[in-house]
C-alpha cells in the first residue's frame, strides 16, 4: 500500500519552523546576549543535545590546550556545535532507529542551520567555524561543504574528534555505550580518513590519562548568562 507521507512531512516542517523561530527570534541584540540566549535555549529546549555539547566542549579544550587556538571560543563552539538541531523536528532527534534517507538529509542540515543563528561577528569566527564545519572529514567525504584536510578550520577538526569520542561513549538504541578506551581506539583507527592524524595523536596523549566525563550529565543546567566560567561543567578541574 502506498501511504501519503505529505501530512507528516508538513507537520515536521511546521514544527521545524516553530523551533527555528525559537532560536532565531533574537534580532538586534549584542552578540554576547544572543549567545547566552542560544545557550539557554539549547539547555532548556534539548537537554540531551546540551549535555552532549558540554562533554564535547570538555574533550575539545583538552585536545586544544597546547595548540594555537582560543580555548574560550573553542569551549563555546563545543557547547553550541549542535545548536542547529533545535531547528529540526523533535521526533527526528528522538527517533530510536536508523534515519531514512530523507531524514538524513534533514539531519545533515544542522551545521548550516546552527551557523545561521550565530552572531555574524569576526570575534566569534572560531565558534562559527566549529559549528558549521564539525561534520567535515579529513578525507573530504564529510558535510556540509566537503572541505578536506587543513582547509577544514582547526576548531572544527578538534570538534570532530571530540564529537565522535562522546558519541561512541553514549547509549544508542542499537548498541550500548562503549568504554572510553574503545572510543579512543576507534578514533585512532580513523586518523587520516575521518580525522586529522596529527590532532588524533594529540587527543590520545591528552585524554588517555583523563577519565571520561561522567554520563549522563544530569538534569538540565539552569538558565545562566555569560561569562563562560559559569558554564563550565563541574567535572572540569
Ligand atoms: Fe553535529
* Residue that the C-alpha cell 516542517 belongs to: 13
Compute the distance from residue 30 Cα to the ligand 1 centre, in Å: 26
> What pLDDT, on the 0 to 100 scale, is given for residue 209?
72
26 pLDDT higher than 50:
no
Query: For the chain, what are the domain ranges?
Result: 7-212+225-231
Compute the distance from residue 4 Cα to the ligand 1 centre, in Å: 30
> What pLDDT, on the 0 to 100 scale, is given for residue 212?
59
Compute the distance from residue 131 Cα to the ligand 1 centre, in Å: 8
Measured distance CA(31)–CA(120) in Å, rounded: 8
224 pLDDT higher than 80:
no
Compute the distance from residue 77 Cα to the ligand 1 centre, in Å: 11
The 10 Å CB-count burial string (b at 16+, else e) for 191-211 is: beebbbeebbebbbebbeeee
Q: What is the CATH number of domain 7-212+225-231?
A: 1.10.3210.10
- Ranked by mean pLDDT, which of 35-49, 113-127, 130-144, 169-183 comes out on top? 130-144
Compute the distance from residue 135 Cα to the ligand 1 centre, in Å: 6
Across the chain, mean pLDDT equals 82
> What pLDDT, on the 0 to 100 scale, is given for residue 14?
73
Band of residue 104 on the pLDDT scale cut at 50, 70, 90: very high
> What pLDDT, on the 0 to 100 scale, is given for residue 232?
38
- Ranked by mean pLDDT, which of 31-35, 59-63, 156-160, 227-231 comes out on top? 156-160
> What pLDDT, on the 0 to 100 scale, is given for residue 179?
87
More confidently predicted of 186 and 222:
186
Whole-prediction pTM: 0.81
> What pLDDT, on the 0 to 100 scale, is given for residue 107?
94
> What pLDDT, on the 0 to 100 scale, is given for residue 220?
37
Compute the distance from residue 10 Cα to the ligand 1 centre, in Å: 24
Compute the distance from residue 164 Cα to the ligand 1 centre, in Å: 10
> What pLDDT, on the 0 to 100 scale, is given for residue 222?
32
List, for residues 148-203, the tens digit of each pLDDT value: 999 999 999 999 999 999 999 887 767 778 888 899 999 999 999 999 999 999 99
Q: How many CB atoms lie within 10 A of CB 78?
A: 30
Compute the distance from residue 84 Cα to the ligand 1 centre, in Å: 8
107 contact partners, CB below 8 Å, separation of at least 6: 88, 92, 99
For range 93-115, the mean pLDDT: 90
Amino acid at each position: 500500500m502506498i501511504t501519503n507521507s505529505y501530512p507528516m512531512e508538513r507537520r515536521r516542517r511546521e514544527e521545524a519552523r516553530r523551533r527555528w523561530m525559537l532560536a532565531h527570534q533574537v534580532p538586534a541584540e549584542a552578540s554576547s546576549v544572543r549567545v547566552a540566549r542560544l545557550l539557554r535555549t539549547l539547555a532548556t529546549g534539548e537537554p540531551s543535545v546540551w549535555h552532549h555539547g558540554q562533554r564535547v566542549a570538555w574533550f575539545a579544550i583538552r585536545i586544544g590546550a597546547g595548540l594555537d587556538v582560543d580555548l574560550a571560543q573553542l569551549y563555546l563552539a563545543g557547547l553550541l556545535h549542535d545548536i542547529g538541531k533545535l531547528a529540526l523536528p523533535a521526533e527526528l532527534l528522538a527517533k530510536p532507529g536508523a534515519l531514512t534517507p530523507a531524514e538524513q538529509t534533514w539531519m545533515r542540515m544542522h551545521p548550516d542551520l546552527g551557523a545561521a543563528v550565530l552572531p555574524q561577528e569576526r570575534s566569534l569566527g572560531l565558534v562559527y567555524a566549529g559549528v558549521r564545519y564539525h561534520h567535515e572529514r579529513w578525507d573530504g567525504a564529510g558535510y556540509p561543504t566537503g572541505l578536506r584536510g587543513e582547509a577544514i578550520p582547526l576548531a572544527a577538526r578538534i570538534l570532530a574528534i571530540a564529537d565522535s569520542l562522546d558519541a561512541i561513549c553514549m547509549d544508542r538504541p542499537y548498541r550500548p555505550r562503549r568504554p572510553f578506551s574503545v572510543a579512543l581506539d576507534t578514533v585512532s583507527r580513523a586518523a587520516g580518513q575521518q580525522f586529522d592524524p596529527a590532532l588524533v595523536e594529540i587527543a590520545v596523549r591528552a585524554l588517555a590519562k583523563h577519565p571520561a566525563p561522567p554520563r549522563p550529565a544530569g538534569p538540565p543546567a539552569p538558565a545562566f548568562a555569560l561569562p563562560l566560567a559559569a558554564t563550565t561543567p563541574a567535572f572540569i578541574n
